[in-house]
Amino acid sequence: MEEPFAITLDPGSSRANRTGSWRVERPVYVDRLPPCNDACPAGENIQRWLYAAEDGSYEAAWRSLVEDSPLPAVMGRICYHPCETACNRAQLDETVGIHGLERFLGDQAIEHGWGLAAPPADSGRQVLVVGSGPAGLSAAYHLRRAGHRVTIRESADRPGGMLRYGIPAYRLPRPVLDAEIDRIVATGITLECGQPVADLAETMTSEPWDAVFVAVGAQRGRDAGIPAGDSARILDAVTLLRGMEDQAPPMLGRRVAVYGGGNTALDAARTARRLGATDTVVIYRRTRDRMPAHESEVEDALDEGVRMRWLSTIARVEQGSLLLERMVLDEHGFPQPTGELEELGADTVVLALGQESDLSLVERVPGIEIADGVVRVGSDLMTGRAGLFAGGDMIDPASADRPPEERTATVAIGHGKRAARAIDAWLAGRRPEPVPRHEIAGFDHLNTWYYSDAPPTVQPRLDLARRQSTFDEVVGGLDESTALFEARRCLSCGNCFECDNCFGVCPDNAVVKLGPGLRYRFDYDYCKGCGICVEECPCGAIVMEPEQV
């Protein structure tokens, strides 16, 4: 009788013969940079806080989020979410609603009274932050987290900068803004409103500041130089929007013309409608596809009855009317006059041709370089004066050794965080350590057949009739069930989320589970390098590398 077939196991092993010597390649776990993280100007680790939210751990997700951005309820409402533009899920069905989830977490924190972590031991260093807009608030928050004493000085009566004085309440309710600012200040920051800094050179020498961060924003409208009669009513969009915070909003009349094509122009036009204008028209020199305003803003304005006059410019303004000239685009896309004129009735003309910073406070500081209305800074956001840093709209977006950035609150939040890290390093006598960047996790790295179609959650919107007559918030938020659903749509691009696929498909039992949160490792004594784990990893977190000879 034949002896039964037997497999001889290696001593001390519960598995079959070792196969490691067969390989020409070995699998390796990697971490890639999710495209959403890469696209976020504030430097949020979006994938990390989304992962925490996937099982309903909302407070943990919020605490992860605010490590980078201290204003999630605000930014979840006003950010134009470039993270979603970069989201790989858009190539599968539709992008993850990251901004809606950020807003949800921020609103949960306000509702439940979650507080920010107490700062560490006092460093003994004092830092002055000039300006309480998004850049200033972000810098103050991160400096306080590093243990420094921080004072914010704000020229206005209330904090927030352009968050308060430039963004209408129908986009950003003031109780939300106040709650998040109060929470930042509660970490031990001294906030001094109604305290303008007229001469920074004198302030830096007469007071014991170890470092200063300036972020005064761009709160002055640009002059268009349009010919106008003595009785013509013209004001700039910044003045209009700022006036909405006063007890008596400006009187505009029934017919309002807004000159410009950016987001501020559309905010001004939509505000005019809410103030009672029955005919509001936006006048723009180019075509809709060349308009710098975001498409969502254009659509909202059109929905609310704002008219658009493309390829038009204002030649002259008189009392009760203005003269328009028709434009055409040349072969390079630049508008050229045609000489064709048309009269348009308008009680008020609002100019929205961009903003500039008032830099008078830094003009006398030695070493400061100002060109074209902005301050030049280095890659660490330090100016030419040692210990003086700057950020936000007042700096040259191309001078910080980075690609030019759009002027948004999200960019300003990122500037504040970068400046705080640079200031902390400078105070310690060291250079800021560069943040390592992994390879971006492209869609081609993903194994998407594991994911089913899951259309995004649509946020509710205020009905049109109320939008045209009140300053109530237009876009609603997610609830707990829709937030949970939306968080689970994340593909975890480029980073292991312990799905057990590699563990389950390995024919050699070469994948070893290390425990919850610890991921896996390969036992190369048993791996034969077949690459099945690479092919079956949903998120592209495994690669094959050649064996070293």
Phi and psi, residue 315, nearest 5°: -90, -35
Angle at 331 between CA 327 and CA 333, to 5 degrees: 55
DSSP state of 125: -
Residue-wise pLDDT for 190-217, tens only, equals 999 999 998 999 999 999 999 999 999 9
Place of tokens 């640079």: 422
Helix residue ranges, H only, 2-78: 35-39, 46-53, 58-65, 72-78
| Residue 361 and residue 198 in contact, taking contact as beta carbons nearer than 8 Å | yes
Task: Look at strands 312-318 and 321-329 and give their pairing.
Answer: antiparallel
- The 3-state DSSP class for residue 130 equals strand
Q: How would residue 401 be classed by pLDDT, with cut points 50, 70 and 90?
A: low
Strands 335-345 and 348-351 turn out to be unpaired
CB–CB of 250/425 below 8 Å? no
Of residues 241, 98, 235, the one with CA closest to residue 169: 241
Confidence of residue 20 (pLDDT cuts 50, 70, 90): low
Number of other CB atoms surrounding residue 367 within 10 Å: 10
Contact 416, 135 (CB under 8 A): yes
Can you say how many angstroms the Cα of residue 332 is from the centroid of all Cα atoms in its chain? 31
Separation CA 307–CA 283 (nearest Å) = 9
Instruction: Tell me if 232 sits within 8 A of 350, measured CB to CB.
Output: no
- 118 pLDDT tier (thresholds 50, 70, 90): confident
pLDDT at 400: 56
| Contacts for 403 with CB less than 8 Å, ≥ 6 apart | none
Long-range contacts of 499-508 (CB under 8 A, 24+ apart): 499/450, 499/538, 499/539, 501/450, 501/533, 501/536, 501/537, 501/538, 502/27, 502/533, 502/536, 502/537, 502/542, 505/532, 505/533, 505/536, 506/532, 506/533, 507/532, 508/15, 508/19
Q: In one letter, which amino acid is 489?
A: R
Residue 388's H or E segment, with its range, is: strand 388-390
The yes-or-no verdict on residue 392 having pLDDT over 60 is yes
Average pLDDT, the chain: 91
Residue 370: phi and psi, rounded to 5, are -115, 130
What predicted TM-score, i.e. pTM, was given to this entire model? 0.91
For residue 164, name the pLDDT band (cuts at 50, 70, 90).
Answer: very high
CB burial class (10 A; 0-12, 13-18, 19+) of residue 549? exposed
Q: Residue 10's pLDDT is what?
A: 44
Per-residue pLDDT tens over the stretch 370-380: 988 899 999 89
CB atoms within 10 A of CB 400: 21
d(CA 42, CA 148): 21
Contacts for 450 with CB less than 8 Å, ≥ 6 apart: 499, 501, 538
Dihedrals phi, psi of 512, to nearest 5 degrees? -110, 125
The pLDDT-based confidence of 504 (bands split at 50, 70, 90) is very high
Ordered domains of the chain (ranges, CATH): 20-31+496-546 (3.30.70.20), 35-115+447-480 (1.10.1060.10), 126-219+357-427 (3.50.50.60), 225-352 (3.50.50.60)
pLDDT at 11 over 80: no
What is the pLDDT averaged over residues 115-141? Answer: 95
